[in-house]
Amino acid sequence: MILKKSKIKKTVLVAGGAGFLGSHLCSALLEAGHNVVCVDNLHTGRKINIKPFLKNPRFIFKVHDVVKPLNLKVSEIYHLASPASPPHYQKNPLATFQANVWGCWNLLELARKNQAKFLFASTSEIYGDPLVHPQTESYWGNVNTIGIRSCYDESKRAGETLCSDFRRMYGVEAKIIRIFNTYGPNMDPDDGRVVSNFIVQALQGKPITIYGKGQQTRSFQYVDDLISGIVKVMGKSNFYGPVNLGNPKEFTILQLANLVIKLTGSKSKIIFKDLPKDDPKQRRPNIALAQNNLGWSPKIQLHDGLAKTIAYFEGIVKMKS
């Protein structure tokens, strides 16, 4: 249980609700007593993530692509509908761009029509390969506009612009969060991001694939910490961000690989592969803004979050074998 039962029952739209983060958000909102409408085109999301809610009368699921306008009566909108893993968002870069720009525009129009509050899931990727470390929200970033990651980074940046202009022009209460690498149960085993890759490889006794030398860093946040932060941002009056939501503890990818091997007791060997183009060298959030304004900071240490995530993937790997 992440959220307390709410006295006021709302109807909330979660776009991208069948994905990894979206399914946890739907679960938390339902537990708090709200009505949840989940829309998803199932591009990277999976019906199995929302299966536990399908019988709940307060949960509605619609297959819908947010690139097309939609008409609903809701009082809060969370826009999480975008592929998030580099291999997935690079597979169809134009669709990625559309989800974060056209999709964001459509959902902002819906917020405007309903006078609904709006929250956009932006990303630490907007900082690109950051030259300021740790990253504060006031840093404008170091982003390649024409590279293979640009469809994601630049569309998230454009989404942030849309949120800011809908707020200035129409008074839409549009909030922006910048999520740093988040992991946990409900990730797709074929997602391609580092935590799920390493755990699945370790559990299957396959080589652990480190891209580059493994000296690049990331800061890993467990999903429950993120969901509590997301909901705090939505609930906070006159607070629009952008705000970093991440765990400020920083690890090299080599450290992550060794920790996964240790926690799984795997005999997998580490192998080194080419580093993808434009792969950021370092990433760590400065979370002072969230701490001071929301009283939020992450609680779950990497080894504890990994243990829960490993338990989830053990179930899946067993089912598959």
Q: Which does 123 bind (CB under 5 to 8 A by kind): ligand NAD, ligand UDP, none?
A: ligand NAD
C-alpha–C-alpha distance, residues 229 and 93, integer Å: 29
Residue number with CB closer to ligand UDP (113 or 273): 273
Those residues whose C-beta lies under 8 Å from the C-beta of residue 155, and which sit 6 or more positions away, are 82, 96, 97, 98, 99, 100, 101
What is the pairing mode between strands 208-211 and 217-219? Answer: unpaired
SS3 284: coil
Q: Does residue 19 bind ligand NAD (CB under 6 A)?
A: yes
C-alpha–C-alpha distance, residues 189 and 167, integer Å: 38
The least distance separating ligand NAD from the CB of residue 8, rounded to whole angstroms, comes to 26
SS3 166: helix
Closest CA to 176 of 223, 113, 239, 98: 239
Q: Pick the binder of ligand NAD from 10, 33, 67, 263 (CB under 6 A).
A: 67
Residue number with CB closer to ligand NAD (48 or 131): 48
The least distance separating ligand UDP from the CB of residue 194, rounded to whole angstroms, comes to 4
Residue number with CB closer to ligand UDP (276 or 315): 276
- Residues recognised as catalytic: 152
Residue number with CB closer to ligand NAD (187 or 310): 187
What are 227's two structure tokens?
């969901």
Q: Pick the binder of ligand NAD from 3, 12, 14, 22 (CB under 6 A).
A: 22
Contacts with ligand NAD by CB under 6 A lie at 15-16, 18-22, 40-45, 65-67, 80-84, 99, 103, 121, 123, 179, 181-182
